[in-house]
Structure 1
Amino acid sequence: MYSQPSPVFEVLDDSGVGLTGENALLDERERRLVVGAANFHSLAGPGQTFRFTVVRGPSGTLPALTDEERTTIAWEDDREVVGSLVVRSTAPTVTDLHSAASDGLVDIALDLGGPPAQITAYHQLTGVLGKARKAVRFLAPVQFDALRQFRTDMVERKGRDVPRKAPVRLSRGTAAAPHGDTPAILFGLHWLELGGAERWAIDTIRLAKEAGFLPIVITDRESPQEWITRPELDGALIVPLNLPLDPKQESAFLNGVLSAFDVRGIHLHHNTWLYNLLPWIKSVRPDIPVVDSLHVLEWRTGGFVDISVRLSNMIDKHHVISPQLRDHLIGKHGLPEDKVVLATLAGLTTGAISVPDADTVENNPFTVSFVGRFTQQKRPYLFLQLAAELKKNSPRPVRFIMQGHGELAAEVNSLRNGKGLADVVELRGPDVPVSDTFRDSDVLVVSSDNEGLTLTSFEATAAGVPVVSADVGSQASLIADDLLCPRHPYPFVQAAAARIRTMMTSPDQRKTWLDEQASKAEAFAKLPRGEDWTRDLYQGWLK
């Protein structure tokens, strides 16, 4: 018998895939994707035996593991068959929650997609209007962003009323339903990719393991799931969902989770699927506490803050990372003060960073840095516009570092070359420690069109680096007042360039701004920390 990679299934035949290391036909990311798919089907079909035919796609295609099309045994012409795997679900069958388990063999085709490749949502737009929007976005990204900001202004001025879903008024529910003995926490994540919210989610999963829980991690957004191999997820039960699910499997899967484990709590991190199923969960298990973590207001769409407000009657505590979000939930939407918990992520940084001495810095070109994902939200194209402005008109030699990766990586490379910046803009990937970039920097630029509170601002402060930031989210809680710049793209570039030129010629002014930033960070650090609050929360769930 092979070693078992999951508590909810056993491997019967692994001669064709190498899931358990017999043939090693899968890399670690692919192996964990197959385990995640087997977790889902085993919990949705307790006692059943499954034969998975595993296929790979070309670069840029995404995994398809659980959606309703998995009920077929056909696949696209461009897929390559890796092999097959037979497993038997060991998830318990509870007669009053599940139909009798089938003894027959269930055949399912699992599509692992291709090697991770970055593609933006704009590339996926269809139709004449979608193609036009895509063309304008990539031909003139700064001008396109200016239009987006005007739309944001309109939505922000108008405001948004979010009706709340009626509470589930049950005194008992089915809390006494049989369940497993393993204490577990159910986590809902957007995806397993690089990001601030995901970084915090991964940290809470680590805290759950340290407290003695089994983390059950569900994602609901398609992606290559590159973070699925992170060590914090070792030993967790991971289920990467592809939607839509077959309606019968949806309820069977959740029943399987609630039956197989002793779920003591639910922690939501930007997972729409799990948010929308909270009313059902609360109706059958009102005893399970629910918390969510919120990071950023999304003015154009409402985003997860609006979803959280709508479903607030199903949520016991809202964890927010900034004063802006706390005031928005309590002041704008009237949520009870004792239901909203402000606990910051100030400690979620790279840690201590050595700061170069002033003489060393002044003898080098002035270095302006960008650290973050190459996504629409972070506006890396705007940083390159700023770089072009400073290269053209700067009182001293200047260079730039852009560290990150993401769906706009190709655009970053193209604009860097197209604007004649290849000689002054250095690109760094995730293989370079972020601490090295901060050590090499004289100023960090946050060019985002929206944020909650950037972790990079805390990291820059620890490294002795001032931050020039768009005045978005709760950045004003950390950034010197004079270094907060307008959100709109052209005013942002003008204001940021002016402040950076002042730093180049006036080390004293640069230090004054840095001292103000450090003072704000010190005051912010006195607020409750997210890690401490979450650790105490989970300890309470153990009792």
Structure 2
Amino acid sequence: MTEKPEIHTHSQTFDVLDESGVGLTGGESLLDERERALVVGAANFHALTRPGQTIRFTVLRGPQGSLPSLTDRETGAIEWEDDREVVGSVVFRSLVHTTVAAVDADGLVDLVVDVGGSEQTASAYHQLPGLAGALRRAVRFTVPVQFDALRQYRTDLVEKRYRARDVPRKAGVRIARGASATDQGRTPAVLFGIHWLELGGAERWAVETVQLAKDAGLTPVIITDRPSGHPWITRPEFDGAVVVPLTLPLTPDHESMLLNGIMANYDVRGVHVHHCTWLYERLPWLKAIRPDIPVVDSLHILEWRTGGFVDISVRVSNVVDRHHVISPQLRDYLIGKQGIPAEKVALATLANLTAAADQPAKAVAADKPFTVAFVGRFTQQKRPYLFLKLAAELKDSAPGPVRFVMHGDGELSGEVHGLRGRLGLSEALELRGPDRDVSDTLAEADVLVISSDNEGLTLTSFEASAAGIPVVSTDVGSQASLIADGLLCPRHPYPFIRTAAARIGTMMDSPEQRERWLVEQRRKSAAFAALPDARSWVRDLYRGWNS
């Protein structure tokens, strides 16, 4: 038998007995750090759902762009696709104990987990099935701006209907004490529900709360439910946490076994949901068996086309104790439109989450091209193709030399690279990935452009204000709380391009007007920063849970 694992993240739930090529306990491994962390996450899940049992993983690696398979039903099959490479195997024993049912700890459970390919995610359009999906995909990637114009007209119609309706609610939980079937663990913990472990504003806040839980002496137990290669799974904030990256669908019995295993092995002091559908939908059951556990969620953005996480939160509001919102728009929607009691809604902003103290306003260098920047994920929501069209417009019409920087990565990365060449921007536009610091880009930028079709509040707007850079933004979400009135642009694509190009041209011609817009923007940011701070609110919440 090998020594117990050195990595704290998995020694809480399992003990490695034998391994070949996997290297979870340290030393040589054929897996990289991210892949090892994914295997640890899978082992956490199977240890929690198979208490006391001995489990053997056969570990596969998929081709580039394939997603992990760690916890879903397919892990029980001992056959796989021809393009999968066998990396190694690992045998471990679950250290989890539960009295929820009699468990036969003898024998061996054989499972196959797949860490997927390298970090590359196909867009949702590439996953649309059938002829209709192929047609929609062809139109979307042939004429993206025209396609987006149609999407925005549809959004106008859906938004009008959305504002007129009430979200249905689940009934509440009336019992004061659930019937106990499991022993409760002794290690104080917070159960987190997170979308995925990759770049995003909501994810940055979720990672911050994981660290705050650790600072408060609570062990973070983290469930994610979205398909992803989880590039952030190796971040230091997750050291000492128990990470369980779900790949769905689970077998039905594993759903309760997972939550029972967590509650039997940890003293769960509270639940914090960050954009995690799986955990949201299981809150009524959790409250039925443990009504004493407080539940909070964090909400960022209204989704007009789908309802999004705000709708899910409202639907299960009867089993959520506090709704944390990051903007006045969300507070007013929950209280004013959906009738949620004001005392259940906590407005606490992310204004101070990433931005440092304000730097002096950045003057435009007279001897250098005017630099226009985009910072964000290359996703449909952020509409990077609109920034590229804006860049092409400015390249031809700007009143002086201009250059462009796009800083990000994501599912539309291929489209971004292709459009850059087709629009004649190869020399004028620089692409930067997540390996570069955003602060470097902001230090070079003369204006930041946000072309999103929806937002809550962008953290990059706060960062730009602190760096002394004006922001041109679509007038979506609560962006009007931060952006100078004259720099708010229509959401529809062609009006956005015309308005943004005109405002940037004005900045180039009139440094004085650019300065006035920046002063207004900083005044709005300062007023917003004076509102309650999310970091302080959550810090006090967690301290209360661990008191």
> TM-score, normalised on structure 1?
0.98
Instruction: Note closer, same or farther for the CA distance 1:21–1:79 as it changes in structure 2 (3 Å cut).
Output: same
Aligned to 2:526: 522
Q: What is the letter of the counterpart of residue 518 of structure 2? A: L
- TM-align CA RMSD: 1.3
Aligned to 2:160: 157
Matched, 1:147 2:150: yes
CA contact (8 A) 1:17 1:85 kept: yes
Q: CA deviation at 1:82?
A: 1.0
Structure 2 unaligned blocks of 5 or more: none
CA contact (8 A) 1:19 1:26 kept: no
Matched, 1:501 2:505: yes
Q: CA deviation at 1:2?
A: 2.2
Distance 1:175 1:295 in 2: 35
Matched, 1:112 2:109: no
Distance 1:254 1:368 in 2: 48
CA contact (8 A) 1:46 1:101 kept: no
CA contact (8 A) 2:296 2:324 kept: yes
TM-superposition CA deviations, 1:169-217 (whole Å, max 9, x none): 1111136952111000000011101000000000000000011011001
SS at match of 1:85: strand
SS at match of 2:476: coil
Distance 1:22 1:443 in 2: 47
Structure 1 unaligned blocks of 5 or more: none
CA contact (8 A) 2:361 2:469 kept: no
TM-superposition CA deviations, 1:437-493 (whole Å, max 9, x none): 111111110000000000000000001100010000000000001111100000011
SS at match of 1:186: strand
> For residues 283-432 of structure 1, what are the structure 2 equivalents within 5 Å?
283-352=288-357, 355=360, 358=363, 361-432=365-436
Aligned with 1:249 (options 251, 254, 259): 254
CA contact (8 A) 1:218 1:238 kept: yes
CA contact (8 A) 1:92 1:259 kept: yes
Q: Which deviates further from its counterpart, 406-415 or 153-162?
A: 153-162
Instruction: Note closer, same or farther for the CA distance 1:357–1:131 as it changes in structure 2 (3 Å cut).
Output: closer
Q: What is the letter of the counterpart of residue 175 of structure 2? A: L
> TM-score, normalised on structure 2?
0.97
SS at match of 1:300: coil
Q: CA deviation at 1:118?
A: 2.8
Distance 1:78 1:139 in 2: 30
Aligned to 1:102: 105
TM-superposition CA deviations, 1:237-261 (whole Å, max 9, x none): 0000011100011111111011011
TM-superposition CA deviations, 1:323-347 (whole Å, max 9, x none): 1111111111010001011000011
CA contact (8 A) 2:121 2:410 kept: yes
TM-superposition CA deviations, 1:335-367 (whole Å, max 9, x none): 000101100001112524755763x62321111
SS at match of 1:109: strand
Q: CA deviation at 1:22?
A: 3.7
Aligned to 1:210: 215
CA contact (8 A) 2:182 2:260 kept: no
Distance 2:456 2:478 in 1: 6
Distance 1:493 1:296 in 2: 24
Distance 1:39 1:410 in 2: 34
Instruction: Note closer, same or farther for the CA distance 1:496–1:410 as it changes in structure 2 (3 Å cut).
Output: same
Q: What is the letter of the counterpart of residue 126 of structure 2? A: H
CA contact (8 A) 2:21 2:31 kept: no
Aligned residues: 540
Distance 1:400 1:33 in 2: 36
Q: What is the letter of the counterpart of residue 3 of structure 1? A: K
SS at match of 1:431: coil
CA contact (8 A) 1:353 1:435 kept: no
Matched, 1:124 2:88: no
SS at match of 2:189: strand
Q: Which deviates further from its counterpart, 528-537 or 363-372?
A: 363-372
Distance 2:279 2:227 in 1: 15
* Percent identity (aligned): 66
Matched, 1:49 2:54: yes
CA contact (8 A) 2:362 2:446 kept: no
Aligned to 2:492: 488
Matched, 1:93 2:94: no
TM-superposition CA deviations, 1:112-145 (whole Å, max 9, x none): 1111113111111121100000000000000000
CA contact (8 A) 1:290 1:316 kept: yes
Distance 1:352 1:527 in 2: 16
Q: CA deviation at 1:158?
A: 1.2
Distance 2:82 2:495 in 1: 50
